[in-house]
Structures are given as C-alpha cells and as structure tokens.
Amino acid sequence: MELIVDRQVVFAYTGAQPLEPTRSTIVFIHGAAMDHSIWTLQSRYLAHHGYNVLAVDLPGHGRSGGQPLPSVSAIADWIDRLLAAAGLEQAVLVGHSMGSLAVLETGARHPDRVWAVGLLGTAVPMSVSKPLLAAAKANDHAALAMVNLWSHSNRAQLGGNPIPGLWLTGLGIRLLERAAPGVLYNDLKACNDYQDGLESAARVRCPALLILGRRDLMTPPRAARDLLAALPRASSIMLAGCGHMLSTECPSEVLAALVDFFRRGN
C-alpha cells in the first residue's frame, strides 16, 4: 500500500492484506540501502496470521519517494509521522541494522507509540569503518561489495539458502545496487553518527527483543552487550551460524523468535 508522509509517497508492503483496526500492527524497518523485501519471509507469514504488517521502504529507498533521512533521530521522528499517516496509535516496531537504531530511538522519543521493539543485527554504538565510509562517499562499487561480503556469514556465502534456488550473495549485491547514488553513504553515516543510543535505550519502556547472529561481522554480538544492559525490559536470542542478514539467512529462526516474542507480549 502507499501512504503519504511529509507530502511524499511511502511504500509499505502489507502481504496483500488490508489493515484491520482490531489487529496489532507490526512495522518493519530495513537497514542501510535496502528495502522491504528483506522481510519477505517474516512479513508475509505474520500478515496471514492475525497481524497487520507494514514493511516500509524508508524515504529515498525502494519504492518510496523523497530523500534519505540524514540521521537516526530523523528516521525515528519520521516513523512517528508514518504511524499517524497509517492511523495507528501504537505498533510493534522491528528493525534491522540501521533500522534497529531507528526503532530504538523511536521507542525513546515516542514511547506512547511503541508497544514493543525487535532489534535485529544491532549494536550501540554502530561504528562504520573509515574505508567503508570513504568508499560509500565516493559511490565506489567496492562499498557495496564490502557491505554484502561482511553482511553474510561464510556459511551463507557458500550457499544452502532456505529459498530453493536463490543465491543470497548475488541477491544481496543486486539489492544494494538498486539504491541511488549517495544512499548507502547517507545511511552508513547516520549509523556512525548515532552516539546517544545507550541513553536512549534507558528511556525505552516497552519490551525489547534483540536477535543477534553469532557470525555477524557487521554488528558482532559483543557490540550489543551494552545495549542489552541499558534496555530496562530486554531479552536476546543468538542464532548460531547466522551473519548480519538475519532475516534472509535464517528466516524461519527469526520468524519463530518474533512470533514467540509477540505471544509473550500478548
């Protein structure tokens, strides 16, 4: 479906289901230079199992118009306006990587809007290496290759994708290549500049679930320890053998963790 936020068209995947006012709503927020399609194997299931789903493309990403937002706090405030545009008083927010920071910050800045948060492939701070930032700033294809390589575990690079016949490494690079020039740099810089995450985490009142990949090179599990400690009501789950692209590398495990989290919340 399409929504209008800040006078710009925003695309939100709903699993081809209408939004039902009586249902809980889960909003999925993707990571740097990606789009809603990374959530296909969670969002479609949930949309057909009693939830409203909005897997959005952030401004300037995927099918959404506008320019990429320059900071995590800007994305958080945009999520607040997105919920208003969708007529939602409250939602569960699930974010990956940069999206996890945006979800975290939304929970801190707009606590009444957020019923629970799911944070995948997350770390606070989320420092980005200087060579990667430099390559992204130059719109060098090497930046996409670095992100793609470091985002997938060695296991995922070898193959054995849960979706028969799809080559995750190839799919990952094609998705990144779809982003307009400058988008990856904007997003990585937003991650790198976000320095107040632990203070924000302390203000998040709702339940939080961290889903981490044991083989994550982009946001290694140890980089999430301080965040886990700072969140007042947090739990975590570690997926063995999974890299940074948790929702595509280990889709069933991520879905199971989310479903269990939502049920406990209910």
Partner 1 sequence: MATPQYLRFDTLTLHAGQQPDPTTGARATPVYQTAAFVFRDTDQAAALCSGERAGHVHSRLSNPTNAVLEERMAALEGGVGAVCTASGQAALHLAIVTLLGAGSHIVASRALDGDAHHLLAHMLPRFSIHTTFVDPRDPEAFRGAIRSETRLVFGELLGNPTMAVLDIPVIARIAHEAGLPFLVDATLATPYLCRPIEHGADLVCHAATQFLGGHGVAVGGILVDGGVFDWEAAGRFSTLTEPDPGFHGLDFAEEYGPAAFIMRARQEGLRDFGACLNASAAFQLLQGVETLSLRMARHVENARKIVAFLETAAAVAWVNYPELFSHPDHALAQRLLPKGCGAVLSFGVKGGRLAGQRFIENLRLFSHLANVGDAKSLVIHPASTTHRLMGAQALQVAEIAEDMIRLTVGLEDPDDLLEDLDRALRASQKL
Applying CB under 8 A, the residues found at the interface with partner 1 are 13, 16, 35, 37, 40-41, 44-45, 48, 63, 131, 134-135, 140-142, 145-146, 149-150, 155, 157-167, 169-171, 174-175, 177-178, 251-252, 255
C-beta closer to partner 1: residue 49 or 233: 49
Strands 8-13 and 2-5: antiparallel
C-beta closer to partner 1: residue 40 or 127: 40
Q: Do residues 86 and 60 touch, judged by C-beta distance below 8 A?
A: no
Q: Which two tokens stand for residue 72?
A: 């995590």
Cα–Cα distance for residue pair 100/79, rounded to 1 Å = 12
C-beta closer to partner 1: residue 74 or 217: 217
Question: Is 226 buried (19+), middle (13-18) or exposed (0-12) by CB count in 10 A?
Answer: middle
Q: How far is the CB of 123 from partner 1 (least distance, A)?
A: 20
Cα–Cα distance for residue pair 225/236, rounded to 1 Å = 10
Beta bridge partners of 28: 55, 94
Q: How far is the CB of 215 from partner 1 (least distance, A)?
A: 13
Q: How far is the CB of 255 from partner 1 (least distance, A)?
A: 8
151: Cβ–Cβ under 8 A, 6 or more apart, which residues? 172, 217, 218, 243, 244, 245
φ, ψ of residue 60 to 5 degrees: the values are 75, 10
Cα–Cα distance for residue pair 6/81, rounded to 1 Å = 8
Cα–Cα distance for residue pair 38/35, rounded to 1 Å = 7
Q: How far is the CB of 105 from partner 1 (least distance, A)?
A: 26
C-beta closer to partner 1: residue 133 or 206: 133
Q: How far is the CB of 73 from partner 1 (least distance, A)?
A: 28
264: Cβ–Cβ under 8 A, 6 or more apart, which residues? 207
Cα–Cα distance for residue pair 49/263, rounded to 1 Å = 12
Q: How far is the CB of 210 from partner 1 (least distance, A)?
A: 23
C-beta closer to partner 1: residue 38 or 234: 38
Q: How far is the CB of 201 from partner 1 (least distance, A)?
A: 32
C-beta closer to partner 1: residue 21 or 165: 165
Strands 25-29 and 91-96: parallel
